Amino acid sequence: MKRKPVIILFQCQYCLAAAEDQSWVETQLPENVKLIKTPCTGRISPLFILNAFQSGADGVLVSGCMPEKCHYIKGNLGARRQLEEFTRLLEYLGMDAGRVRFVWMGIDERGKIQKELASFEQELTALGRSPKFAARPVMAKAGGSHD
């Protein structure tokens, strides 16, 4: 069977307005997607994204709220400035463009997370494995690699 790309999904706990979406993410995620739920995107340190790649992830999806819809008022504004710049830095240092993706959710966008995950997985399959920045072979196994 073809290897599926390992995706780490960082999800702000408030960004999925629909209860069905949230329960889908919590219970029915495909095996190659690992969910890390955070109180807000503002909680996501750039180190988390680097650690994901170092531990063998092929892609990172960050899901957060649109501006003005943040539960903590401006957590997402700080997160966007930092995390997008961090992505640009990783690309500058040689990472393939598109391995980190951001989804900023509006409150009426039901079912968007499933679509985003599917198209992200497709893109990552085309890119292949990510050997760059990988640093922890032991943890990569523990983190749910599927080969």
Tokens 């997370």 locate to 113
Does residue 87 interact with another protein by CB under 8 A?
Answer: no
Instruction: Tell me the DSSP string of 79-115.
Output: HHHHHHHHHHHHHHTTPPTTSEEEEEEPTT-TTHHHH
Q: At what angle do helices 46-54 and 75-92 cross, to 10 degrees?
A: 40
Does residue 36 interact with another protein by CB under 8 A?
Answer: no
Does residue 94 interact with another protein by CB under 8 A?
Answer: yes
In the complex, the smallest distance separating the C-beta of residue 25 from another protein, rounded to whole angstroms, is: 21
Complex with another protein: residue 20 or 66, whichever CB lies closer: 66
| Interacting residue ranges for another protein, rule: CB under 8 A | 45-47, 50-51, 54, 66-68, 74, 77-78, 80-82, 85-86, 88-96, 104, 132-136
